[in-house]
Structures are given as C-alpha cells and as structure tokens.
Copies of this chain bind each other. A is one copy, B any other.
Amino acid sequence: MPDKLIRIQRQTGDAPRRRPVMIAIAGDSAAGKTTLTSGLVATLGPDRVTAICVDDYHRYDREERKPLPFTALHPDCNYLDIMEQHLQLLAAGHPILKPVYDHGTGQLARPELVSPAEFVVVEGLLPLHSKLSRACFDIAIYLDPPEEIRHGWKVRRDTEKRGYREEQVRAELRRREPESAAYIRPQRAAADIVVRFAPIPGRDDPPGTPLSGELLLRPTIRHPDLSVVLDGRRTVHVRLNRDTDGRPVDALHIHGYASAEETALVRRAIWPQLGLPGEPPGSLGDLGGGRRSEPLAITQLLLLHHLLGAAETQHAAFAAATP
C-alpha cells in the first residue's frame, strides 16, 4: 500500500540526521584487522568510535557448521543481506540490534544495541563483499599480508587464545583456502588502500627484522600529499607504481628497519593536520604484548587523516542542511 509507506515516511520525518564516517577493514582471518582497529579506537577515543565486527553475522554456530559443505568464510554461511541492511542503517545514522557471535564458545548470543558514533569501524571477513555493502563506506581498507605470515599469525592466535592445536589450525586453513580465494581475496580490488605488512621482497633480512609496510594508495579517494616530506628519504618513501591490474597507484613504503628519525618525520608531518590534542599516543603502532611496529603506526596515522578529513566534510554538509 503506497499510502502506508507515505504514512510511515511522514512519521520518520525529514530532519537531517548526523551520519557517521564509515571505514571498512576487510581481510582474511588473522590478517591483523583487530590490531589495526585498536590503534584507531584508542587514538580517537571510544566515545567517538563505534567498532563492530561483521563476523557476528554468522548464520550458524560452530556445531551447526560442522556438517555443512562450506566454512564460515562462505557468503551462504552469513546473513549478508542483514549485514547490508545494518550497514545501510548505520550509514544513515540509525542504531541497529547487532547479532553477536562468541568466538570463545562458538555460539550465537543475544544481540546488542549499536548506535553509530562519529566514526564507525567495520572489520571482518566480508564487509566489502557486495556493491551495496561497499557503497556504505567512506574509506575501504584491505589487509593483505603474505599468506605464510598470516598463517603464522593465525596459528599463534588460535593456539594461544582459542584453545586449538597447531595441526588443527593448519588443517582449517587448508580447508578454507578455496573460499579465501573465492570470497575474501577478491575484496582487495574494492579497497581504497591495500595494506601489506611483509618482509621486503628480495632481501634476506635476518629473522626478527620488523616487517615493512607497503600501502597501495589508490586514486579512488584523495590521499594527503607526502611527497614533500618524504623527498629523498630512503626508508620511508612514496613511489608511483602499477597496481596488480595495471592501473597507476601510489605505493607508500615504510621499511621495517626505518630509522626513528625518518618515521618521526612522517608522524610530525601528519599528526598536526589531524587536529587532535597532545602528542601521537603510544597506542599507535601497538602490536600487543609490549611489541611495536613503526609501519603500523604510520598506517594508522594515515587512516586517521582520512577519517578526520571525511568527518570535516560530513560536519560541513550537516551544518549546511540544518536550519
């Protein structure tokens, strides 16, 4: 009944609603999504950021999944239509009642109310799966570590925190590989920034050398101009490159052995532009367990630059629309 839809619209009203800036952090299991997110939340403060994980949209609990012919990575194993619906609602500034998957017990729990703060960070396996979900984001990130490194991270996390044995984790990784290839990795093409923490190819660095960071800065969003500050630097630099599909792209390299002096240069170039009080906090670059990564810190600074820039545009639009 169109007249009913009109009645509903009349009740919802036309008042402009404050909408959040939304960032997707997509990537395979143990690709570093939560580590990347934590530094953003800690720097902006939990009051300004709502962080959700879309793996909560699992359709089945762990027991129910066992006899199924696909893994938790498969779109059919998730309520992706509801995920899309909830992303749309959040993007429009509405609260949602989000499902909750408990990684500890493997069970689906009672849902929780999520109201979008100024920023919404959406991490998970499939946030960039569909055109509709992608349309909900202002900034899209894909975490793309080399597979052998990600496998190592997953083994460590799942044995230390989730009670699995190493051979179980490796078997699960093998079982998931076809679905990783089919559903997770294609999201790389939809990202504005592809983040890769890895050893530098072709170098035979000794074990324990910190990983370097390579960030593909695709021209799908406007990136800050770092060329001046980085001109002539050896361990932090931007180079014009070709993307895997041949399209031109800027590649920001932060070497794992970059000197504190050179990374400090980048921090000092970006931080004042953010308009945040004080000095860059120690949570930037925090890997947990007392370890730090300069490439991670600079990646997080760059994402903060994008988030705060988008928020400024957003506030201006809201102010213009409000009488």
Contact = CB atoms under 8 A, between A and B. Distances in A.
Nearest to A57: B97
Interface string A122-133: 000000001110
A81 B78 CA distance: 25
Contact of A4 (B5, B97, B136): B136
A4 B317 CA distance: 12
A99 B91 contact: no
A229 interface: no
A85 B79 contact: no
Contact of A135 (B11, B19, B81, B110): B11
A149 interface: no
B317 A1 contact: yes
Most buried by B among A4, A10, A61: A4
Interface string A79-119: 10110010011011011110100000001111101000000
B91 A85 contact: no
A161 interface: no
Interface of A: 1-2, 4-5, 7-8, 10-12, 19, 59, 61, 79, 81-82, 85, 88-89, 91-92, 94-97, 99, 107-111, 113, 130-132, 135-136, 138, 310, 313-314, 317
A314 B2 CA distance: 9
A1 B110 contact: no
Contacts of A92: 5, 8
Contacts of A96: 82
Nearest to A83: B97
A295 to B, nearest CB: 30
Given A79-B97, A82-B95, A11 B108 contact: no
A194 to B, nearest CB: 21
Contacts of A91: 4-5, 8
A79 B11 contact: no
Given A4-B136, A8-B132, A99 B85 contact: no
A85 B81 contact: no
A12 B130 CA distance: 11
Nearest to A94: B85
A138 B97 contact: no
